[in-house]
Structure 1
Amino acid sequence: MSPLRKMKVEIAELAKNPMGLLMEAVHTAAYSGALANPLYAHESALDRLNGELLEEFMTENFTVARMVLAASGVEHEELLQVAEPLTSDLPNVPRQVEPKSQYTGGDFLQHTGGDFLQHTGGEATHFALAFEVPGWNNEKEAVIATVLQMLMGGGGSFSAGGPGKGMHSWL
């Protein structure tokens, strides 16, 4: 199987993840702008995926301006000596202005039908309830929101144990 075909299979498998699709639906319903863009490729887009399109994507996005290099316990000059040769062949274009997103709120409903039941081995309803927390950078409001989130059954973006380690309620 070609590497491109393997990637298409992996992306198609991700689309069968109910929690991943649920988080994507929350963003789609809650925001307008960049945060509303899907993280998973739709199956119709996979059919158009080819080597030329991937190369174009890499050229536009794998640039020095979009890269973050983090290190601990190393001197800055030593880090530069290691990093500069590794990034010398990457395009060095100016960083683009990041698109804005606006919280709008909303809802999203999707009936998955029989396909979903085949993948999970049973019938289940998945839902998420999300709120905008304007004071997330305010410690008191962040603590209140985090406690409320844990009392309601966890969540994917912030919880005890760090991002993605949320508890989920089986109500």
Structure 2
Amino acid sequence: MITEVDLSGTPCFAHGQKLSNLNTINFIFGPNGSGKTTLSQIFQNSADPRIQWDTNSITDIQVFNREFTANALASSAHLKGVFFIGKGAASTQAQIDTLQIKLTAEEKATTQAKTALDALLQEEDDIRTKLDNIAWDTKKKLEPSTLFPYLRGTLRSKATFTGSSELSVGGGI
């Protein structure tokens, strides 16, 4: 157990000031600027030379101050009324929030990419349709005997004719 704490050299206490008559569990409270945070920072380092221990003591100190609360408690941004408790919970929640923002941005980028892909596929389909129509119109203007050797079986059907553009046709037209 802590028997005494020398407060000399701290911003809120006079030189030679000591905190004594401590118990196993101590609650420190007071108005703003009275030295609560300064004391808690001293207590967080059990090896601090300003702390005097009795000879049979356990040197484990738990300090529950604003710093502890900021590090150990975090509220969920997504689940109202849900709090995470534990060492590092606040930083873990901050990491989760950062990853959630990144995920949302990636989902938005994916949606935009899919939209762009759909537009390009539609444009490709429109170009193929336009090409098929131009080829059919051009075929209708030519003498059948000129095309017959190259397009056997495709002269009477536009569907068959436009499908032949995927075949390798020998010779020139």
What is the TM-score normalised by the length of structure 1?
A: 0.15
Report the structure, 1 or 2, having the larger strand content.
2
Give 1 or 2 for the bigger CA radius of gyration: 2
Larger relative contact order, structure 1 or 2 (CA cutoff 8 Å, min sep 6): 1
